[in-house]
Amino acid sequence: MDHQIKAFIDDLRTTHRKNLVSVILYGSAATGDHHPKHSDVNILVVLEKIGPEDLRNAHAAIREWAKLGHNVPIYFTVSEIENSSDVFPIEFQQMKRARKVLFGRDVLSGIDVSTENLRHQVEFELRSKLIMLRRQYIPASASVEGLESLMANSLVSFIALFRGVLMLRGIEAPVGRHAALALTVETLGLNGQPFEKIFNLRGDNLAAMMGEVETNQLFAEYLQQIELVIETVDRMDG
């Protein structure tokens, strides 16, 4: 992984030259909580200016990066970094707390993350993911493997939002996924067993032991706890 990232940075430097301000690794890969099967390698690329030509020129570097199974990086200008934290409070807070500067200067160090719109964003994202989870359950329920994969992958996204819920409670959210999940369960008084079982699916610890009935029951319990989290956030309004 280190070799892949270094080669990618070299390609970005060759592509963008003096326009390249910073390359930042953020998320689980920056904290050592990365799981090759279920986690992404998240890269933030910051340029002084971004036009169609800059993005076209990046095609070759991004193509090689994507061939390795990685997501296309997020592109921001320096100005957008300085002026977007109030629009994306969750994302910028997580970037600030779990980041590793790979090239250039740390453009996130001086960002003041506003929490004014945090509750609205957290509830919006939670409800959107709940709706998507229900939709995805329909095809996934055709097999135990499909349902296990849905739960394991979706929990990662929900944990990212749980950190926002903890922030709303005035609690410093842990960077590690398991620690953030455990603290959310404790703080909100949730039933942590469904979350723990699904978290263990990420390591395939339970995959061979669960049948169709048990897997669908676990999904029902999981759904119920997510709904309780959303109800709690909704009551925080005002």
Q: What is the chain written as a DSSP string?
A: -HHHHHHHHHHHHHHHGGGEEEEEEESHHHHT---TTT---EEEEEES---HHHHHHTHHHHHHHHHTTPPPPEEEEHHHHHH-TTTSHHHHHHHHHSEEEEEE--TTTT-----TTHHHHHHHHHHHHHHHHHHHHHHHTTSHHHHHHHHHHHHHHHHHHHHHHHHHTT----SSHHHHHHHHHHHHT---HHHHHHHHHTTTSSTTT--HHHHHHHHHHHHHHHHHHHHHHHHT--
- Tokens 């055709």 correspond to 142
pLDDT value of residue 205 = 54
Taking Cα atoms as reference points, which of 82, 67, 86, 112 lies closest to residue 21?
A: 82
Position 109 in a domain: no
46 and 71 co-located in one domain: yes
Q: Which of the pair, 179 or 173, is modelled with greater confidence?
A: 179
In a domain, 206, yes or no: yes
Same domain as 54, residue 138: no
| Residue 150 vs residue 87, higher pLDDT | 150
Q: Which domain holds residue 177?
A: 118-235
Strand order in the sheet with 20-26: 74-77, 42-47, 20-26, 99-104
Same domain? For 75 and 123 the reply is no
Q: Do 91 and 133 reside in the same domain of the chain? A: no
CA distance 199 to 153: 9
pLDDT in tens, 23-79: 999 887 887 665 555 457 899 999 999 999 999 999 999 999 999 989 999 999 999
Given 104, 126, 158, the domain boundary residue is 104
pLDDT attached to residue 208: 52
The per-residue pLDDT for range 145-165, each reduced to its tens digit, is 999 999 999 999 999 999 999
Residue that wins the pLDDT comparison between 35 and 19: 19
Whether residues 81 and 170 fall in one domain: no
CA 31 to CA 42: how far, in whole Å?
12
Two tokens at 88? 């994306």
Mean pLDDT of the chain: 89
- In a domain, residue 111? The reply is no
Residues 136 and 184 in one domain: yes
**Looking at residue 65, which CATH number applies to its domain?**
3.30.460.10
Q: What is the pLDDT of residue 38?
A: 44
Would you state the structure tokens that stand for residue 184, as one six-digit string? 């959310």
Average of per-residue pLDDT across 215-232: 96
Q: Is pLDDT larger for residue 236 or for residue 19?
A: 19
In a domain, 110, yes or no: no
Whether residue 122 sits in one domain with residue 88: no
| Residue that finishes a domain, picked among 69, 104, 139 | 104
Whether 122 and 231 map to the same domain: the answer is: yes
Cα(211)–Cα(215) distance, rounded to whole angstroms?
6
Residue 96 lies in a domain: yes
Q: What percent of the chain has pLDDT over 90?
A: 64
| % of the chain beyond a pLDDT of 70 | 91
Question: What per-residue confidence (pLDDT) applies to 86?
Answer: 79
Residue 49 in any domain: the answer is: yes
Domain-embedded: residue 143? yes
> Does residue 112 form part of some domain?
no
How many distinct structural domains can be found in the chain?
Answer: 2
pLDDT tens string 1-17:
789 999 999 999 999 99
What pLDDT is attached to residue 84?
Answer: 84
Say yes or no: 96 and 134 in one domain: no
Examine the fold and report which residue of 66, 82, 104 is the final residue of a domain before the chain moves on.
104
pLDDT of residue 207 exceeding 70:
no
Phi-psi region of 27 (alpha: psi -120 to 50; beta: other; left: phi over 0): left
Q: Are residues 136 and 166 in the same domain?
A: yes
- CA torsion through residues 69, 158, 180, 220, sign: negative
pLDDT one-digit tens code per residue, 168-178: 898 988 878 89
Residues 62 and 131 in one domain: no
Same-domain check for residues 129 and 100:
no
